[in-house]
Amino acid sequence: MKQIMRFPRLDRRALLSSLAMLPFLSAALRSTSAVAQTQTGPLPSWNEGPTKASIVDFVARVTESGGPYFVPPDQRIATFDNDGTLWIEQPMYVQLAFALDRVKVLAPMHPEWKDKQPFAAVLNGDLKAFAASGEKGVAELVAVTHAGMTTAEFEKIVIDWLATARDVRFKRPYTELVYQPMLELLAYLRANGFKTFIVSGGGIEFMRPWTETIYGVPPEQVVGSSIKTRYEMRDSTPVLFRLPEIDFIDDKSGKPIGINSHIGRRPIAAFGNSDGDLEMLQWATLGTSGARFGLIVHHTDAEREYAYDRQSHFGKLDVALDAAAVNRWTVVDMKKDWKRIFPFE
């Protein structure tokens, strides 16, 4: 019977160090830096064309000292969605895969789950029945898989899961299923004085343990959905205990609110892939003067990754795709614009 263990003295530094040691991560990082070293221009995994040109033109404008569109470095804020923008979100959100796996790990301690939804559905691998449990089911799933432990314990659980979990199609760790062109874009923006933030509907504490290693985005630059925590002293050691209560949903109109709360400035560039990113893209680009940049990753490559948009269960792209045309946001045609999808290719 597996229990959630306590690691009262476990700190993020030790966790990140051990995370960095994991071979799969090292491989991903080597792969990235190898590209950076062997290519001369920026964005080597982007094919030449209007999409790449729109990025390079925007960066040239806002960094041109004395130019009409110059933006001082401290105001070069760029926000990135995560699921479907920086890493894979099919056949389901990675965090949902985590929660489903977690139910299986915890099931021996909860024999009653065999007859109780949504857990029975999860244990039977019946995603339709799980979906039928609706928001209440999701809330119960989050409560048992994401709450009831300290923040340090949860971090350890996430790191341990990522080290062993494998995507069903690519048979690889999820942290390898990140988009090489977007890694290059993050690095390119930072090299041009931008501060890069993640602004995701995903859980903030689910992302922070690995975003610095994988994306170069430190924990303080990650914005996401959250549950409430309670501060406690346990044997002279302070902990934050995760409660089964939603604190904030960083999706749709929650994204500008989360950006305002965490960053306190409007981004000048925003990157997303779904209707959940519409308001973030609006907040970054509309009703302000100066150069602004919005970009939507359109998943069009069923062969190398996936092709989905208006009808997708995860990462539905419908209203935001229409809005892109109106607002002159760049739309990435993954199949056409990306030379390479994943770092391991």
Upstream peptide bond of 91 is cis (omega within 30 degrees of 0): yes
CB of 240 to a copy of itself, least distance (A): 5
Neighbours of 320 (CB within 10 A): 26
Q: Which of residues 283-342 bind a copy of itself (CB under 8 A)?
A: 283, 286-290
Q: How many residues bind a copy of itself (CB under 8 A)?
A: 49
CB of 80 to a copy of itself, least distance (A): 15
**Stretch binding a copy of itself (CB under 8 A), from 39-47, 90-98, 280-288, 334-342:** 280-288
Residue selected from 89, 279, 305, 337 as contacting a copy of itself according to rule CB under 8 A = 279
CB of 109 to a copy of itself, least distance (A): 27
- H helix or E strand, kind and range, residue 134: helix 134-146
Upstream peptide bond of 73 is cis (omega within 30 degrees of 0): no
Cβ-based nearer residue to a copy of itself, 11 or 48: 11
Helix axes 23-38, 180-191, angle to 10 degrees: 60
DSSP state, 150?
B
Cβ atoms of 338 and 174 closer than 8 Å: no
Cβ-based nearer residue to a copy of itself, 39 or 261: 261
Q: Is there binding between residue 50 and a copy of itself (CB under 8 A)?
A: no
Pairing status of strand 269-272 against strand 77-80:
parallel
Residue selected from 29, 36, 263, 307 as contacting a copy of itself according to rule CB under 8 A = 263
Nearest C-alpha neighbor of 173 from the set 151, 158, 153, 155:
158
Q: How many helices (H) and strands (E) does the chain have?
A: 14, 7
Rounded to 5°, angle at Cα 277 from 273 and 280: 135
Cβ partners under 8 Å of residue 228, min gap 6: 242, 243, 245, 246, 247
Cβ-based nearer residue to a copy of itself, 50 or 264: 264
Per 3-state DSSP, the chain is made up of helix, strand and coil in percentages (nearest 5) of 50, 15, 35
Cβ-based nearer residue to a copy of itself, 17 or 33: 17
Residue selected from 29, 105, 143, 257 as contacting a copy of itself according to rule CB under 8 A = 257
Cβ-based nearer residue to a copy of itself, 85 or 229: 229
Cβ-based nearer residue to a copy of itself, 173 or 258: 258
Q: Which of residues 52-111 bind a copy of itself (CB under 8 A)?
A: 71-72, 74-75, 77
Q: Which of residues 131-190 bind a copy of itself (CB under 8 A)?
A: 151
Per-residue mark of binding to a copy of itself, 219-248 (x: CB under 8 A): xxxx---x--xxx-x--xxx-x------x-
Cβ-based nearer residue to a copy of itself, 45 or 211: 211
CB of 178 to a copy of itself, least distance (A): 20
- Classify 329 as helix, strand or coil: coil
DSSP state, 5?
P
Q: Is there binding between residue 251 and a copy of itself (CB under 8 A)?
A: no
CB of 157 to a copy of itself, least distance (A): 16
Q: What is the 3-state secondary structure (H, E, C) of 160-179?
A: HHHHHCCCCCCCCCHHHCEC
Residues that bind a copy of itself (CB under 8 A): 8-9, 11-13, 71-72, 74-75, 77, 151, 195, 204-205, 208, 212, 218-222, 226, 229-231, 233, 236-238, 240, 247, 253, 256-257, 260-266, 279, 282-283, 286-290
